[in-house]
Amino acid sequence: MRAIQEEKCTALIGAPIIFRDILTHPDRKKYDLSSLVFGLSGASSMHIDFLRQLENEFPITRMAQAYGMTETAGIITCSMWAGDNDDKRRLSSIGQPMPGLELKVVDQQGKTVPIGAS
């Protein structure tokens, strides 16, 4: 938090636990985090209640959830949540593929499943 304040960081990138640790830290209000405008979370999903808490208590105005793997050399999909109040979409989508990627969802036999299948 000291680094965010001193360096005027504009983005916070990390797993949801990083956001939670800052949000629940007893000294959080002692630091000026107003420079933060963008958050990118990955490694695990973020529950809608926690996302709302972040939106209410952090200065972040744009939040994204990303999915990727080390084996794919980075982010595969990204979902932006700027001003979006559709909770179902937030929780049910892994976002859009990054430019230049083609994705498909397959079943246990490796066959492509139709859009909307679960």
Domain boundaries, the chain: 2-97
In this prediction the pTM is 0.74
What pLDDT score does 18 carry? Answer: 95
Q: What is the distance between the alpha carbons of residues 49 and 99, in angstroms, rounded to a whole number? A: 30
Question: Tens place of pLDDT for every residue, the chain, 118 residues?
Answer: 999 999 999 999 999 999 999 999 999 999 999 999 999 988 888 877 888 888 888 888 888 888 888 777 788 888 877 555 665 555 556 778 888 888 888 999 999 998 877 6
What pLDDT score does 82 carry? Answer: 59
What pLDDT score does 76 carry? Answer: 84
3-state DSSP assignment of residue 57 = helix
Q: What is the distance between the alpha carbons of residues 106 and 103, in angstroms, rounded to a whole number? A: 10
CATH of 2-97, one of 3.40.1260.10, 3.40.50.980, 3.40.430.10, 3.20.20.370: 3.40.50.980
State CA 41 to chain mean position distance. Answer: 3
Contact 94, 70 (CB under 8 A): no
